[in-house]
Amino acid sequence: MIDFLENKPIENWDVRAFIDQCLAWIKETVGESSVILGLSGGVDSSVAAALIYEAIGSRLIPIFVDNGVMRYKEAERVKEMFAGYPELNINFVDAAELFLGRLAGVSDPEAKRKIIGTSFIEVFDSEAKKHDDAAFLAQGTLYPDVAESITADGKTLSVKSHHNVGGLPEKMNLKLLEPFRRLYKYQVREIGRELGMSPRLVDRHPFPGPGLAVRILGAVDKNQVKILQEADEIFIDELYKWDLYKETWQAFAVLLPLQSVGVEDSKRTYKQVCALRAVNSSDGMIAKVSELPLDFLLHVSQRISNEVSGISRVVFDISSKPPATIEWE
Ligand code: XMP
């Protein structure tokens, strides 16, 4: 029997055996309680939702929290993606003002992560109060999140405090339920496929819990979020159009707190720089730059600087992990 709480990857991976044992473990752990699940629209929390739903049905309470630093039109996309699961009753909570208010003026990456982790838990706790029998908070935490946030003795921060692990507050009213904490993303994708989830959802690139807050370097505000959302949407849209989305493991835009001189209609401009990042990896622990075609990058760069007001220069990040991490913060 798998020990789902151990701090190490699963050995002898067999997707069907994992699903069967995990369903039994969830039923036993949860008993008659309800489970709150932070549904972000990402692969991990979406597959977790499908799996936990299979174990406990409508006692799963999925909550999508709009924290103001999600991808472009993410709430609408999540509605579309789960349109085929009418029985999954998703609660949409608009907490953008709360998160952005707390993030205002904060530039330190670890401070941003902690604010987001703590605020998420607060929102989930307050939603949980609406459900008398809610005793658990389910998260799609993966093994690399665990490995990078804590050392083997379970204590110190090793690389960064992934918001869903090291960024959690010390005192929480809900107990954590993390069925994937011993898995890598490719294994979660296999579970999603095995459960019959749509490829568009299962193959979605990873997206970090702290969202665009760690892709806007320096302080985060509504305007910076809007600029980054638009630039990122163009990049991702073009990856799909050029049939390159699946050629890269993770791709996104980053907004730099830098202005550079440009020219528009023969006039000098002074606007921000956007970096494009695309990497290939199997688990996020090490990563190599995706060698996207130059004509593709030129096209994306032109669209971003023409269509996104506030950006006049686009650069492509050619750093591997290590020494750089995948995210810039
Ligand atoms: P790094 O930047 O550490 O990223 O090389 C490795 C992978 O993890 C994602 N990432 C996170 N995921 N919470 C998450 O759920 C986080 O706080 C977090 N930080 C980074 C990152 O997008 C990449 O896929």
Ligand 1 site, residue 283, Cβ cutoff 6 A: no
Ligand 1 site, residue 145, Cβ cutoff 6 A: yes
Q: What percent of the chain has pLDDT over 90?
A: 81
| 96 CA from centroid of ligand 1 (Å) | 21
pLDDT 10s digits, 218-245 = 999 999 999 999 999 999 999 999 999 9
pLDDT 10s digits, 276-310 = 999 999 888 999 999 999 999 999 999 999 999 99
Under the banding of pLDDT at 50, 70 and 90, the label for residue 91 is very high
What per-residue confidence (pLDDT) applies to 145? Answer: 83
C-alpha–C-alpha distance, residues 88 and 280, integer Å:
33
Quickly name the fold that domain 15-202 has.
Answer: Rossmann fold (3.40.50)
C-alpha–C-alpha distance, residues 114 and 166, integer Å:
8
Specify the ligand 1 atom closest to the Cα of 160: 3
Which residue has its alpha carbon closest to ligand 1 atom 7? 284
pLDDT 10s digits, 306-322 = 999 999 999 999 999 99
CB 262 within 8 A of CB 313: yes
Quickly name the fold that domain 217-316 has.
Answer: GMP Synthetase; Chain A, domain 3 (3.30.300)
C-alpha–C-alpha distance, residues 46 and 24, integer Å:
19
Ligand 1 site, residue 327, Cβ cutoff 6 A: yes
What per-residue confidence (pLDDT) applies to 162? Answer: 59
166 pLDDT more than 70: no
Rounded mean pLDDT of 195-211? 92
Q: Indicate if the alpha-carbon torsion angle 201, 205, 208, 214 is positive or negative.
A: negative
Under the banding of pLDDT at 50, 70 and 90, the label for residue 173 is confident
Q: How many CA atoms are closer than 13 Å to the CA of 217, on its beta-carbon side? A: 14
Q: What are the extents of the domains in the chain?
A: 15-202, 217-316
